[in-house]
Structure 1
Amino acid sequence: MPGAVRADEFMVAMGDGTQLSTEVVTADDGEPRPTLLIRTPYSRIGARQADDAIGLARLGWSVVMQDARGTAASEGEWHPFRNERSDGADTVAWCAAQPWSDGRVAMWGASYVGITQLMAAAERPPALRAIAPMVTSAWADEGWTYEGGALQLGFAMPWAAMMAAACPRIAKRDLDRAAAVMADWPAAYRQPLGDHPVRALSPAFVDWLSADQRRVWKDLDIAKKVARADIPAFFVAGWYDLFCDGTLRTFASIEAPARIVVGPWTHAGLWLDTTPEVQFGDAANGIAQDVRGEALRWMRRAIDGEEVEGGARLFVMGVNAWREFDGWPPPSTPARFFLTDEASLQSSPPAEAGRHSFDYDPHNPVPTRGGRTLGPYLPMAGPVDQHDVEARGDVLVYTSAPLTKPLTVIGQVEATIRFSTTGRSADVTVKLVDVHPDGRALNVVDSVRRLPFTPGRPKNVDVAVGATAMCFLAGHRIRVEVSSSNFPRLDRNPSTGEHWGDATVLQGARQTVHLGSSRVTLPVTPTRRGAT
């Protein structure tokens, strides 16, 4: 392996002439090597430390770190996602033509640095031989900016504000506006979106709030192109990461050789085996499991033209153990749990179809407690006791009898809730909870579906609750919570029928869950022996 390394800085011209600030760290021996490209909006200087560029160079890579367009030392205007396809492909071609490159390029990184890889892969640059997108998604709209039709407020609004504030060419007036927003995040979350101050800072945020979603996202729809790009990909996801479902969907769509590792991780706590209220054990530690090293070795084999291992390595919570599957989702048997008038869950529809109602108040919404969160002034992500939420009058709670044997759920949790409202639009939130024998009620996965309604007219609402791998142990109970808010993780529904992104007035409504057909469906897989 090479010893001494050198670092050089370049301004690399894109196809339209815009120059992007780029740093190359490589062995100081003049030998060409495969390139590992990292494209980031968070400063290549930070990437040098976070990704250990010197260590990667000593493993035999020529490491290239680049500031995305309009960020840090790069020229141009910052607009999330918009230029990453062409800029990524142009940079891959530039790397392959340099004397320190052997013409083969791989890409590396997490979160937005992951989607820069997928955007580049959609262009199919000939020199791009492998990618390693972590905690990210090929869908920049649903699952990144939105969830179930609602805005991922707790992530999207602060991210837009902070990226605007970090822009090297921001005007002082806008910097002062950004500082005011960031000085009081709780107030910023509660500001109606129709006249939100971040609108003045971020053209992207204005787009995300637009009712004309087709116009906003049509040129950023890369999923099919990524699936057919024929570029091997190694994915990493976390069960409590806000991009988890998108990462899994992207992995499942890839036609080229692909592998995924999914741990009980959050976005900010990637690799960690501990969340605020749960310790998953040493086996969950991604550093001890050397997931990073596994991904690097896998990509090196891929660019060398060797056969690479596919499949999905999933951490099953509850039993806190890893299991290997051929792909995602693994084979499963659907198990339906129907909501009953007695606030229980049962395997068959109730004999009498009653109803349960609650009042939705956007000025006193259900507070976010754990889950797939990421943002300032938000509760920590992960499994958190839900008792304070469940004690509220606007949260309906349905609980099974104690399980007599373990029940392993691996796959996509779905719900169908028959729902009506006095408003003209409503959110239906569904949360799956693991109730321990000591009474702790820990959230497993949750989501939302936002739809228009005719006041007083019930309809079935299908909610994609989310992906998980969870073993509910014997003696535990399965619980389902139903409500209409999860704030500030999700924005509040105005109930008026006005597009939520334009609303300046938020109204309450009377919400009703109609029993009988309302249910949650769990993908059940065989439980391994030894689970208790």
Structure 2
Amino acid sequence: MKKLFLAIGLFACAAIATTASAQDTLAIYRKLDSIAVIDQKVMMPMRDGIRLATDIYRPKGNGKYPVVFSRTPYNFNTWIDGKMVNGPLQAAYEAVSRGYVYVVQNERGRFFSEGEWDILGTPITDGYDALEWMSKQSWSNGKVGLIGCSSTAEWQMAVASQNHPALAAMVAQGFGAGVGRVGKFMEQGNWYRGGAQQMLFTSWLYGTQHDKLAPRLPLGIQQKDVQRLQKFYDMGPEYPRVDWAQGLRHLPVQDIIKNVQGSEGVYEKMIVRKPNDPGWFKGGLYHDNMPMEVPAYWFVSWYDVSSAPNIALFNHVRNAAKSKMVADNQYLVIAPVLHCSYKRATENTIVGERSVGDARLNYDELTWGWFDMLLKGQPNDFKTTQPRVRYYTMGANKWQQAESFPLPNTEMKPFYLASAGKANTRNGDGALSMMPPSKDIPDAFTYDPMNPVGSYGGNVCCTGNAVQGGSFDQSQMELRNDILVYTSDELKDGVEVTGFIESTLYVSSTGLDTDVTIKLIDVYPDGKAYNLDETIQRLRYREGYDKEVFMEKGKVYKVDLTPMVTSNYFAPGHKIRIEVSSSNFPRFDRNLNTGGNNYDESKGVVVENKIHHSKQYPSVIKLPMIKK
């Protein structure tokens, strides 16, 4: 049986089958059919003549209704091997029963849609043209709202910048791969973090990009023929399973997909781009010099791949919107879950190995209240009952609310790195101190690219079996000699850390280029050490992403890392810890330390790296403490 669709999300790598039984599916379809006009595989025309396959579900009768629009690179076919499967039927029923038209569309070049595919459904004019077409239909009230998580959200921002008058509201969840540059973050859609490649795209593109030689339906095929074909030929290729724990180790990086005999596609052109390549600014990414005049409800996860830039985008839109109405209609929810796993929260939500308590939230109620207010103009209690920012504090295990993020009562508390030169492993003498040490006795470790520190848990997505996201006990990992460990004294009073975490390290190396990584940890009284967030910086980009500045042997460099973000209560008896190293693989690609391109190299150079800490070199992490 062919795959129905890949899991919702830009990075979903494993196919999932519908969970509904055949009987349940038929029941859903009958309920939907009783209230809706079902029009599948409408070939919606774009301005250049290319047509995108679109399923439309609308209330019966001659009324005019607002549209809820979902656009995706994934397969939403409701038929497999001649049998009806769930597809979007439940979502369509939910929308139609509430008085909305539900529209789901494949991006250009995906499945039954015509044209050539590129990531984020470019060109962005396709999104504009879809809004134009839907708003002018006889069943439309002229207002459209966008909804989706990950891939069904990430295209929304760039299209919103086109300022189509019908676009009245957005619900964007797990949307980081649509953010190119915002404030301090220049990730180019999660391709980079601190100038290092995030390897999730390698495994994701293996299962997403269609081969350039894949069979296509003829241009101009009629809707009735597509409807007939979808019942026995769903255009969904079967990709051989890959052991990505091994597959991502292949060098050079540019040949990883080729090495597993994957399809040829956009990966090969993207892997050679540097962080400031003009190509990043010509596709479907949103950058902070683009307008954003659309009310938006943003949903973020603490253990997603891009929590910090996502929150930064929320702040940017609030501050940059020209319309007061738009600025006042930006709302944010931050949940303690993995990528696009909001509704998987339970009475005892486990993220990785750590319990974060009852993190449930009625997302349907929030979403439809938002749409009713903005697409229907219905008076409701959304504004009076929903906080501007709703965030979950782990450790305290409770939902909290604020008018802004970071919180107004935030104090940035510095914790300086200190040691007598032996911070290697958790058994070393590394400490976090309120005052910088007087003497520079650096901590040294050897970084071998062929033996990198493994990614264990973390704020990740979609690397198959290579990395499992979430919070895991890092204490065994901390026995590696190439991990420097700095720990605070035991806390007498509990402290809440909520907001952006700033890190400055002073680094020297025997190499031309290397990476520095950092990880924030909550250490429990029993010694278990749970990761909260992590980041990396490629040192050739320490002075900015528009130039590469290599290192001189032994010279000490100031390195400001990309901010981390969290909300965590460190209870009495706990300790605050950070880990410093030069690799976190395969979440991030290995720096081979040569000063070369890295993506086309197969051999690395072993280097000795040092972290300096003194009054002259005040390596520090600044934690956003909340005053109570």
Q: For residue 302 of structure 1, report the CA deviation from its aligned partner.
A: 2.0
Contact 2:415 2:433 in 1 (8 A): yes
Is 1:110 matched up with 2:149? yes
Determine helix, strand or coil for the equivalent of 1:338: strand
Matched with 2:37 is: 6
Question: What TM-score do the two structures reach when normalised by structure 2?
Answer: 0.78
Contact 2:121 2:155 in 1 (8 A): no
Matched with 1:67 is: 106
Q: Distance in 1 between matches of 2:456 and 2:53?
A: 40
Q: For residue 119 of structure 1, report the CA deviation from its aligned partner.
A: 2.2
Matched with 2:28 is: none
Matched with 2:496 is: 408
**Partner of residue 259 from structure 1, selected from 315, 327, 331:** 331
Match runs of 1:91-106 below 5 Å = 91-106=130-145
Match runs of 1:405-484 below 5 Å = 405-452=493-540, 453-484=551-582
Contact 2:73 2:121 in 1 (8 A): no
Residues 196 and 357 (structure 1), Cα distance of their counterparts in 2 relative to 1, 3 Å cut: same
Match runs of 1:77-156 below 5 Å = 77-81=116-120, 83-137=122-176, 138-140=178-180, 141-142=187-188, 144-153=190-199, 155-156=200-201
Structure 1 stretches of 4+ moved >6 Å: none
Between stretches 455-464 and 88-97, larger displacement belongs to 455-464
Matched residue type, 2:619: S
Contact 2:157 2:292 in 1 (8 A): no
Matched with 2:622 is: 521
Aligned pair count? 516
Is 1:160 matched up with 2:223? no
Determine helix, strand or coil for the equivalent of 2:623: strand
Contact 2:458 2:534 in 1 (8 A): yes
Matched residue type, 2:430: A
**Partner of residue 360 from structure 1, selected from 423, 438, 447:** 447
Contact 1:142 1:148 in 2 (8 A): no
Residues 168 and 323 (structure 1), Cα distance of their counterparts in 2 relative to 1, 3 Å cut: farther
In our comparison, the structure showing a higher alpha carbon Rg is 2
Determine helix, strand or coil for the equivalent of 1:387: coil
- Which structure 1 residue ranges, 5 or more long, are not aligned? 528-532
Q: For residue 178 of structure 1, report the CA deviation from its aligned partner.
A: 9.6
Q: Report Cα offsets for 1:357-392 as digits up to 9, x if no partner.
A: 101111111011111122201332111000121000
Match runs of 1:300-449 below 5 Å = 300-305=372-377, 308=383, 311-331=388-408, 332-341=410-419, 342-374=429-461, 375-449=463-537
Contact 1:241 1:372 in 2 (8 A): yes
Residues 205 and 240 (structure 1), Cα distance of their counterparts in 2 relative to 1, 3 Å cut: farther
Matched with 2:14 is: none
Identity of matched residues, %: 29
Contact 1:34 1:61 in 2 (8 A): yes
Q: Distance in 1 between matches of 2:96 and 2:289?
A: 31
Q: CA RMSD in A?
A: 2.4
Residues 243 and 76 (structure 1), Cα distance of their counterparts in 2 relative to 1, 3 Å cut: same
Q: Distance in 1 between matches of 2:444 and 2:297?
A: 46
Q: Distance in 2 between matches of 1:170 and 1:465?
A: 45
Q: Distance in 2 between matches of 1:128 and 1:211?
A: 33
Matched with 2:274 is: 211
Match runs of 1:15-34 below 5 Å = 15-34=47-66
Q: For residue 433 of structure 1, report the CA deviation from its aligned partner.
A: 0.2
Q: Distance in 2 between matches of 1:434 and 1:115?
A: 31
Matched with 1:530 is: none
Matched with 1:223 is: 287
Question: What TM-score do the two structures reach when normalised by structure 1?
Answer: 0.92
Q: For residue 426 of structure 1, report the CA deviation from its aligned partner.
A: 1.0
Q: Distance in 1 between matches of 2:558 and 2:364?
A: 43
Matched with 2:584 is: 486
Contact 2:304 2:460 in 1 (8 A): yes
Determine helix, strand or coil for the equivalent of 1:164: coil
Q: For residue 293 of structure 1, report the CA deviation from its aligned partner.
A: 2.1
